[in-house]
Structure 1
Amino acid sequence: MTADERAARTRAADDLCSTAYADCSGPDNGVALVAVGGYGRAELAPHSDLDVVLVHDEGVELGELATKIWYPLWDSGSQLDHSVRSLPEMVAAADADHRVASGLLDVRHVAGDPNLTLRLRTTMLAQWRKGARERLPEVRTASLNRHRLIGELAHLSVPDVKEAEGGLRDATTLRGIVATWLVDVPHTELEQSRQALLDVRDVVQQLAGRASDRISPEMWPDLAVALGLADDRAAQVHVREIGRRITHLSRLAWRRVDGVLSRPRSPQTPRRPVLEPLAHGVALSAGEVVLDRKADPAHDPVLLLRAATVAAERNVVLAPATAARLVRECAPLPEPWPEEARHLLVRLLASGRGLLEVWETLEETEALTRFLPEWERVRLLPHASVIHRFTVDRHVVETCIEASELIRTVARPDVLMVAALLHDIGKGGLTEHSVAGEPIARAVATRMGFEQESVDLIAHLVRWHLLLATTATTRDPDDPATVDLVASTMGTAEALSLLSALTEADAKATAPKAWSSWRAGLIVDLSRRARAALDTGVALPPITTDELTVPDDLDPASVSITVEPVPDGSRITTIALDRVGLLADFAAMLALQRVPVRAARVWAQGEYGVSVWEVGAESVDPAILRTKYDAIVGGRADPLTRFAPGADALAPTVVVRPEASEQATVLEVRAADRPGVVYLVCSALARLDVAVRSAHLDTLGPQAVDVFYLQEASAGALSETRAAEAAHAVRAALS
């Protein structure tokens, strides 16, 4: 339907332009009005510009012809992108800029001299093919820069259907690659995907009421209705699947271009393709893994995994036609898998960066369902947390790539790689994904032929893959209960070592901030302590805090504030006469300055209270902080009026965790991440005369997860009644 609408819009635009040309008596020879770009391809969206050029032969005088043509087009309300050039000027502009050259590949006659348009089109195509070897690297560089700037259509939270990787711009680039005659691209698949994405863009512009190519979150339900899809989730899958397919075709095409450009210009082309044997039944031909002439898919159930593994390890293309053939002809894997199949899968997962494109080929050809049907659970599934830069399936592949760098740090690389593959397999349901994923991982590992001990270990890693990251960032590392939780849950040093590697790989695959030096330090330290407890049965002693030297000039009414740069931020140390509410005032000081707090440790040193704050700001002026602190203490600044709780969509949760410590009462607070949360919590506790021993602060997307270790001002954990009172007060302060 939308293709017909695009054709109707193009016909209307053609009528408008040709009428304007005729009304000003445009000549029939030597001058032509041509459409280029999207208008040239007859693919006008509801709010597209009319991209036109008035072309003329050299020596033809136009006078006021151009102005006479443009005015009625402007008067019609059309958005016009216009220019006037002679044929030689068109050729020179295309020679100087690959973007102009690419746009002129879609030149289409609208009015005037059709022979001139034909000469222009023929010249542009000839020039494009003649200079393809020099031009294509420029096009590739421009595309990669755009991808880095915009992101990938399949994974963006607000997809750009034109400029993102896998969008319409890339689809047009692929058409240009095909026009060079250097390589081929699956034309039918490309054109179907391109037309489907044009349909999406048409609806997006209709919904936006303007020339927009971005799908905002609120558009998904209406987009689903317009495209005849079940719901907003189906609309997301539809759009992201198109983007992924175009990305796959683009990467395949550029691989083939690289192969052509790396060969001499005039090679002696053999009559039959040269096959370089790589493994049993598998060979390399023109830079792509294919089947050799002796391959017997019907009697070799491991052939698909063998071909994929060889391609990934060599970082070359697994020919899509080969993968598709193996889907049709390869014998199914027996259950449990033979040892060779299991070893090949582990090698495939551990192949590093070469895994990505091979895995995409397996997805696009539906070959994954042959050995991992559970993959459909997470395919193109968006993450609930915005901190993730990829959809769940791509995140899993990236986790495997990161884990491949760590296989020499663990005793069981095979277990690590399969756990990395399956760690998020439980996502997409209502049950906590680590809980839901455990039985799925157990079933998959059993089918793969792992012995029972390894099956149990893989399932255990999937169940507890968040343990280290969550505990390290939300629990006091100096509390024996924290180390005991990790050690008792993992049970063995081998399991803990695997969990440490999986945690690092999972975090690095999530986003750069998920494995900052601060987070990494917390996780590594907790893992080290738990490892010592498992190895010796005795936990390492807590990190002792050396007494800090109190400045000689620090009077009882003053404060000492020092700032020390650390990786990814700063460490702020404060010393002041101890009192209830001191921590709240320091939290307010930092919040007023919009300094993001990661963690805080507090202790008493004689009559002074000392606090050390790990913050995310790299440049903090202690003089400004001292001014803010003095204003708060002196009553000139009232933080309560600045950080009063807002109307959040979700109510805050405040929970007492009695199992987390025997020395203190642990209060876990989850609320919208905004300045002042720590202050509101600490001030509410101060009003109850409750002391904060330490605070452990974390941010998961838009949510703050803050944990406070509380004691009575006279020392000791809170009673159940006092703990409930504290939780109620904090909840009220944040609500």
Structure 2
Amino acid sequence: MRRLTSTASSWCSPVSVISGTELRNAVLADRSVGGRALCRALSDATDEWLIGLFEAATAGIKGRFALVATGGYGRGELAPYSDLDVLLLHDSPKTVAQVAERLWYPIWDASKGADKIKLGHAVRTVKEAKELASDDLDTATSLLTARHLAGDAALTSDLLGIIASDWRSRRAHWLAVLAAGVASRHEEAGEAAFLLEPNLKESSGGLRDVHALHWAEAAGALIAPADRAALAQAEDTLLAVRVALHRTTGRAGDVLLLQEQETVAPEAGFRDSDVLMAAVSVAARRVVWIGDETWSRVNGLPPVASDHVLASGVFLRGGEVELEAAADPSQDATLMLRVARTAAESGARISRATLERLESSAAVLPAPWPTGAIDDLVGLLLSGHRAIPVFEALDHYDLLVRILPEWAPVRCKPQRNAYHRFTVDRHLWETAANAAALVHRVTRPDLLVLGALLHDIGKGYPGDHTDVGVDLVRVIGPRLGLIDDDVDVIVTMVRQHLLLPDVATRRDLSDDGTINAVAEAVGNDVTLDLLSALTEADSLATGPSAWGSWKRELVTLLVDRTHHVLGGGDFTQVNWRLFPTSEVLELMGEGTTAIRTTEDRVTVVAPDRPGLFSRVAGVLSLHGLDVLDAEAHSDDSVAGRQAMAANEFRLLPPKEGIKWDRVVDDLQRALDGQLAIESRLAERAKTYRRRKMLSATVSSPSVRIHNDASSNATVIEVRAPDKIGILHRITKSLGELGLDIRHAKVQTMGNEVVDTFYVRTADRLKVLDPFHLKEIERAILHAVS
């Protein structure tokens, strides 16, 4: 579209602009209307506005013109900040430019300021629109649900008739393109039912999936009436949430971020964010279930020569797991688990008819379970990620709670922190699937996958999830038919499932007290290996930031050293400490300042003085370097040389190149007392805007001090919201209280840091004085507040 002429600009009536804005604002101001009703009302108001603009734009101009609503606007699903997609149809090339200028200009004029409307516009003849739609999926689908707004209705009718006919006649082509597009989008946007921050439109189970199913149905794909009704109900929920998201944020957007869920919930008609996210999850699961069935039919089922028996009463037919006609779920309580196991092992879907039979008549498993039932559950879990769609199918028909009644409270339950990416139920399935790939590392694969499935089962209940989980497992285990010793192992797995990652990332692994405490907690090598595998499986299921090379290295180190102690080895007979190295000791012996840097490590050797550690930490923060781990060592003064100290910081490798010469220069200035660290950190905090990934309630800072966690140091654990320079401020407060930092572990979990410090007094003793301990807590809380 060429730029508007001054004539077109001067022609525009401000009345049409004002009335259009007023119409939209009047609809949006009525907070009693939301969801689909608001979309419809907003579409109607926009219709009224655009029809008036069109009539004014075409007045006195010869030719045939029609205004058509396309895309979401055509469906009548115009959200508060949706794009406004319209098509100007014509058969008058000589005069259409004048009409277009008169039509678009008032819309653009109304798009200024807070009421901005993003116009998606096109000007085409029927022939041009048909040709473009024949090759472009987006154009074709936007016209499938287009609506005539104004002008020559015959033009619109001709186009829409051609589009619908072409869509049906090229059914195979369009369905294949649709199916491929759905699969590709799912890979990129994840699953709305299980993500903590779903994309309401693009994620699997989102609104775009609903639209794709409508388009597929228009091409001839069959969707049962009951499924169509369920789809409409799910779409209503997703639309209501999307509308509320637009309203509360005041902008277009489809990703439901954690920090926005609390305000979106009441706007969308839900009690709180947990109820909101559960509703989104249920709706998305319903969409995915209907979609999976539809696309499997579209893609075609693999041909088979004959039925293939999978287990007693269960066979494979046409790529789906079926129950034999004579099989009676009401009399065979193990049949449901047998169906689930064979489906996972064969990688096949359970047929809808089979699921409906199980739903209507499957018997409840007695306690304890019959012989073979637990083997089927373990077999299902050992199938790895192929078990997840089977669990989803069972859950869709409310069958999973018949296997594990304790499952109900974790179903669709969000985890309100940025550290986790999945709902609790999906997290447990993912952990079990990951664990199935690690069974070669343990002597009891069955206990590994069972423990993985149950390790967070307590999160659906009030109270500490670990304590609750232990109590639940003591009930579940015997019901499954496990012997007491095996129940005790799974209880330990649930109770200690955070032990290894917490200790590895927050404690000094060269301290004998640390390793001895872990050995006492796990009890034996078998349980230690189970916990090691569970730690990896759990971390991988948690999210990308929960398992990396640094954490893997620390956990492996901890497990190896614990095995040494459990095997009867004497910890004190082995030199586990890796710092200071011989090179660092040599630098200390020279008695001068030395700074060494690599991509993931900074080592500073300098004359010992109060606050040395905090100065280095402050400079690293100024340069955007994140500390993972730190070691400190100091010696006594000797003849001709003052006491020296060495600090080594292990860093998260920076995403962008770091100019290390500037880092070194600032470190030297800081050591010389020539760098205003506090002032610079304050300036950086003002200009740096880290994305807030917050839970519904921000955790308050806390300080825990342990004098029994180490044999030769006081251990201080600090939890606080992540902020610029927080490590510098904490360590500065410790230095001001005369404490020597011997070792530090730094961990960031979403928006929170968990920092651990091993400190000693100037006399190299633990801090035992109660008053001194209280002042340490006071100083740290002040530093992080």
Measured in 2, the distance between the counterparts of 1:638 and 1:430 equals 48
Is structure 2 residue 60 aligned with structure 1 residue 34?
no
Residue matched to 2:644: 608
Is structure 2 residue 724 aligned with structure 1 residue 675?
yes
Residue number among 508, 515, 530 corresponding to 2:562 in the alignment: 530
Is the partner of 2:402 in helix, strand or coil?
helix
Aligned length: 722
Is structure 2 residue 623 aligned with structure 1 residue 574?
no
Judge which range, 713-722 or 300-309, deviates more.
Answer: 713-722
Structure 2: runs of 5+ lacking an equivalent: 1-32, 112-116, 637-642, 687-696
Residues 171-207 of structure 1 show CA distances to partners (whole Å, capped at 9, x for unaligned) of 1112222333356473222222112222333333343
Residue matched to 1:656: 705
Judge which range, 304-313 or 469-478, deviates more.
Answer: 304-313
Residue matched to 1:666: 715
Inter-CA distance 632–15: structure 2 relative to 1 (3 Å threshold): closer
Residues 346-401 of structure 1 show CA distances to partners (whole Å, capped at 9, x for unaligned) of 11122122122222222221111111121122122221331111121111111111
Residue number among 282, 302, 309 corresponding to 1:277 in the alignment: 309
Residues 452-500 of structure 1 show CA distances to partners (whole Å, capped at 9, x for unaligned) of 1111111121111001110111111111111111111111111111111
Inter-CA distance 3–718: structure 2 relative to 1 (3 Å threshold): closer
Measured in 1, the distance between the counterparts of 2:676 and 2:590 equals 22
Inter-CA distance 19–585: structure 2 relative to 1 (3 Å threshold): closer
Measured in 2, the distance between the counterparts of 1:212 and 1:140 equals 25
The offset of 1:134, in angstroms, is 4.4
Residue matched to 1:192: 233
Contact 2:729/2:784, CA 8 A, preserved across alignment: yes
Structure 1: runs of 5+ lacking an equivalent: 264-269
Measured in 2, the distance between the counterparts of 1:79 and 1:680 equals 46
Q: Percent identity?
A: 35
Residue number among 577, 585, 597 corresponding to 2:615 in the alignment: 585
Is the partner of 1:654 in helix, strand or coil?
strand
Contact 1:665/1:723, CA 8 A, preserved across alignment: no
Inter-CA distance 137–477: structure 2 relative to 1 (3 Å threshold): farther
The within-5 A match list for 1:221-240 is 223-240=264-281
Residue matched to 1:733: 783
The offset of 1:220, in angstroms, is 4.4
Contact 1:598/1:698, CA 8 A, preserved across alignment: yes
Contact 1:381/1:428, CA 8 A, preserved across alignment: yes
Q: Letter of the aligned partner of 2:731 in structure 1? A: C
Is the partner of 2:582 in helix, strand or coil?
coil
Say what the alpha-carbon RMSD is for the aligned residues.
3.3
Measured in 2, the distance between the counterparts of 1:374 and 1:231 equals 23
Judge which range, 56-65 or 279-288, deviates more.
Answer: 56-65
Contact 1:150/1:164, CA 8 A, preserved across alignment: yes
Judge which range, 61-70 or 532-541, deviates more.
Answer: 61-70
Residue number among 527, 531, 543 corresponding to 2:576 in the alignment: 543
Is the partner of 1:299 in helix, strand or coil?
coil
Residues 270-304 of structure 1 show CA distances to partners (whole Å, capped at 9, x for unaligned) of 9xx96443222223333222223333222222222
Residues 319-351 of structure 1 show CA distances to partners (whole Å, capped at 9, x for unaligned) of 344223211111221211113211111111221
Q: Letter of the aligned partner of 1:615 in structure 2? A: L
Judge which range, 175-184 or 325-334, deviates more.
Answer: 175-184
Inter-CA distance 48–713: structure 2 relative to 1 (3 Å threshold): closer
Measured in 2, the distance between the counterparts of 1:113 and 1:274 equals 58
The offset of 1:652, in angstroms, is 2.9
- TM-score of the pair, normalised by structure 1: 0.89
Is the partner of 1:717 in helix, strand or coil?
coil
Residue number among 94, 109, 113 corresponding to 2:148 in the alignment: 109
Measured in 2, the distance between the counterparts of 1:336 and 1:98 equals 55
Residue matched to 1:341: 373
Residue matched to 1:623: 661
Residue matched to 1:425: 457
The offset of 1:730, in angstroms, is 3.2
Inter-CA distance 60–248: structure 2 relative to 1 (3 Å threshold): farther
Q: Letter of the aligned partner of 2:248 in structure 1? A: L
Q: Letter of the aligned partner of 1:548 in structure 2? A: S
The offset of 1:107, in angstroms, is 2.5
Measured in 2, the distance between the counterparts of 1:402 and 1:334 equals 29
Measured in 2, the distance between the counterparts of 1:3 and 1:553 equals 71
Residue matched to 2:243: 202
Judge which range, 344-353 or 548-557, deviates more.
Answer: 548-557
Contact 1:166/1:245, CA 8 A, preserved across alignment: yes
Measured in 2, the distance between the counterparts of 1:76 and 1:643 equals 44
Is structure 2 residue 750 aligned with structure 1 residue 701?
yes
Residue matched to 1:266: none
The offset of 1:122, in angstroms, is 3.5
Measured in 1, the distance between the counterparts of 2:588 and 2:454 equals 56
Is the partner of 1:298 in helix, strand or coil?
coil
Judge which range, 160-169 or 721-730, deviates more.
Answer: 721-730
Is the partner of 1:561 in helix, strand or coil?
strand
The within-5 A match list for 1:149-298 is 149-182=188-221, 184=223, 186-215=227-256, 220=261, 223-259=264-300, 275-298=307-330
Q: Letter of the aligned partner of 1:543 in structure 2? A: W
Is the partner of 2:583 in helix, strand or coil?
coil
Q: Letter of the aligned partner of 1:393 in structure 2? A: D
Contact 2:237/2:279, CA 8 A, preserved across alignment: no
Is the partner of 1:710 in helix, strand or coil?
strand
Residues 565-600 of structure 1 show CA distances to partners (whole Å, capped at 9, x for unaligned) of 4xxxx1222222334433222222322222100111
The offset of 1:121, in angstroms, is 2.8
Is structure 2 residue 553 aligned with structure 1 residue 517?
no
Judge which range, 595-604 or 206-215, deviates more.
Answer: 206-215
Is structure 2 residue 625 aligned with structure 1 residue 595?
yes
Measured in 2, the distance between the counterparts of 1:336 and 1:280 equals 21
Inter-CA distance 558–91: structure 2 relative to 1 (3 Å threshold): farther
Q: Letter of the aligned partner of 1:99 in structure 2? A: D
- For CA contacts below 8 A with separation 6 or more, give which structure has more relative contact order: 2
Residue matched to 2:508: 476
Inter-CA distance 555–604: structure 2 relative to 1 (3 Å threshold): closer
Residue matched to 1:488: 520
The offset of 1:406, in angstroms, is 0.6
The within-5 A match list for 1:323-402 is 323-402=355-434
Contact 1:699/1:705, CA 8 A, preserved across alignment: yes
Judge which range, 698-707 or 239-248, deviates more.
Answer: 239-248
Residue number among 669, 678, 684 corresponding to 1:640 in the alignment: 678
The offset of 1:506, in angstroms, is 0.4
Inter-CA distance 657–141: structure 2 relative to 1 (3 Å threshold): farther
Contact 1:580/1:713, CA 8 A, preserved across alignment: no
Residues 123-152 of structure 1 show CA distances to partners (whole Å, capped at 9, x for unaligned) of 323433444544455545544554455443
Residue matched to 2:77: 43
- TM-score of the pair, normalised by structure 2: 0.84
The offset of 1:657, in angstroms, is 0.6
Is structure 2 residue 590 aligned with structure 1 residue 560?
no
Is structure 2 residue 128 aligned with structure 1 residue 89?
yes
